[in-house]
């Protein structure tokens, strides 16, 4: 007797995707369950939703760990993370179960680099601080000393921590401004272009002590957790700007608050936070801090491309084809 047909594969999606991603979901042959709430599903909702799913599309807000993989059951074949980072997924646990994990690299490199440079410029020239000053109704007249900032095009040095695809995109932009370029850890597949741009590879202590702007583009791993702490912040020049569009826990946030309050560094511009979505309350009290809610990839075309790629990864695996962007087979040239 033949075994009963199990039916088409079911895909669970943890959040409403951008429009292009939602349209791509319509091409999947089986049922699709999408969480349509204002925010991510609760843990209980997520554990219930994944039961029996063959594919799972997640965002960085969902923790895909042993508990969730167990709740999904043996039918789960692919987890597609709609992000370039995948620190929210226990990749080893997934591999032990034969579950493919994918991410969305490449498609968000330029958008993230755009925001990193935007933050770099805004913090260096005190744009947000000046905007708040004007909106508060302060009386003012042109003054040669009003809101003086850092001239990036006057030979300032940008230090890029983690020069992979996104770091390289930042280097191209900084080079156009006439900035000197230094980097800690240049990915081999990015080295040729980095050399052509004049990037100097230096140890982290040298980068920190010699850079006017330090911009972070390394993945979050046990090795990079709190990579920038009190000692590293104290090593930076007192006028230096720290930019983080990577992952929040790369920076010891309490140490950063202390360094900013003491004047150990000049400013910080942050797209990500250590305990996201919570932000250290003292950060928000400081005039020399720019804080935005994880919007580095928030361009219409970029978010559409991310969502579409995530769904296509699911479709490929469920159809028995190789995934488009499996995390274990990607080049080391990453953000």
26 is catalytic: no
Name the nearest CA neighbour of 164 among 208, 115, 214, 217: 217
Among the listed residues 247, 280, 312, 334, the single catalytic one is 247
Among the listed residues 125, 226, 294, 330, the single catalytic one is 294
Half-sphere exposure of 99 (CA within 13 A, CB side): 29
42 by Cβ neighbours in 10 Å (0-12 / 13-18 / 19+) ranks as exposed
Residues in the chain: 335
Among the listed residues 67, 110, 201, 276, the single catalytic one is 276
DSSP string, 209-276: HH-SEEEE-PPP-TTTTT-B-HHHHHHS-TT-EEEE-S-GGGB-HHHHHHHHHHTSSSEEEES--TBT
H runs (alpha helix) in 139-212: 165-176, 191-197, 204-210
Identify whether the C-beta of residue 207 lies closer than 8 Å to the C-beta of residue 183. yes
Q: Is the dihedral of CA 119, 240, 250, 200 positive or negative?
A: positive
The SS3 call for residue 205 is: helix
Reading across the β-sheet that carries 241-244, which strands appear in turn? 200-201, 180-186, 157-163, 213-216, 241-244, 267-270, 289-291
253 is catalytic: no
The residues that bridge with 290 in the sheet, in sequence order, are 269
Say which DSSP state 307 is in.
H
Identify whether the C-beta of residue 105 lies closer than 8 Å to the C-beta of residue 334. yes
CB atoms within 10 A of CB 265: 22
Both structure tokens of 202: 């230096």
239 is catalytic: no
Both structure tokens of 253: 């946030």
Identify whether the C-beta of residue 30 lies closer than 8 Å to the C-beta of residue 7. yes
Q: List the catalytic residues.
A: 247, 276, 294
């Amino acid at each position: 007797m033949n075994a009963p047909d199990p039916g088409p594969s079911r895909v669970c999606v943890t959040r409403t995707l951008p429009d292009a991603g939602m349209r791509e979901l319509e091409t999947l042959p089986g049922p699709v369950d999408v969480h349509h709430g204002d925010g991510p599903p609760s843990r209980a909702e997520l554990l219930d939703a994944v039961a029996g799913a063959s594919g799972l599309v997640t965002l960085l807000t969902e923790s895909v760990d042993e508990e969730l993989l167990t709740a999904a059951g043996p039918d789960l074949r692919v987890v597609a993370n709609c992000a370039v980072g995948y620190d929210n997924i226990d990749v080893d646990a997934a591999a032990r179960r034969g579950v493919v994990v994918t991410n969305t690299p490449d498609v968000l490199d330029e958008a993230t680099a755009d925001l990193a440079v935007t933050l770099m410029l805004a913090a260096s020239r005190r744009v947000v601080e000046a905007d708040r000053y004007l909106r508060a109704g302060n009386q003012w007249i042109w003054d040669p000393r009003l809101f003086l900032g850092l001239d990036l095009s006057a030979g300032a040095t940008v230090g890029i921590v983690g020069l992979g695809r996104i770091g390289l995109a930042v280097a191209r932009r900084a080079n156009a401004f006439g900035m000197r370029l230094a980097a800690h850890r240049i990915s081999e597949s990015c080295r040729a272009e980095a050399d052509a741009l004049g990037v100097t590879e230096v140890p982290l202590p040298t980068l920190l002590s010699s850079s006017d702007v330090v911009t972070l583009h390394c993945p979050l791993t046990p090795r990079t957790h709190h990579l920038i702490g009190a000692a590293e912040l104290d090593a930076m020049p007192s006028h230096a700007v720290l930019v983080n569009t990577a992952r929040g826990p790369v920076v010891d946030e309490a140490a950063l608050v202390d360094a900013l309050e003491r004047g150990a560094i000049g400013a910080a511009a942050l797209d990500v936070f250590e305990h996201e979505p919570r932000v250290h309350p003292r950060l928000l009290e400081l005039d020399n801090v720019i804080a935005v809610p994880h919007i580095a990839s928030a361009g219409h075309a970029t978010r559409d491309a991310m969502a579409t790629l995530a769904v296509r990864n699911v479709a490929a695996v469920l159809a028995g084809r190789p995934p488009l962007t499996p995390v274990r087979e990607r080049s080391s040239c990453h953000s």
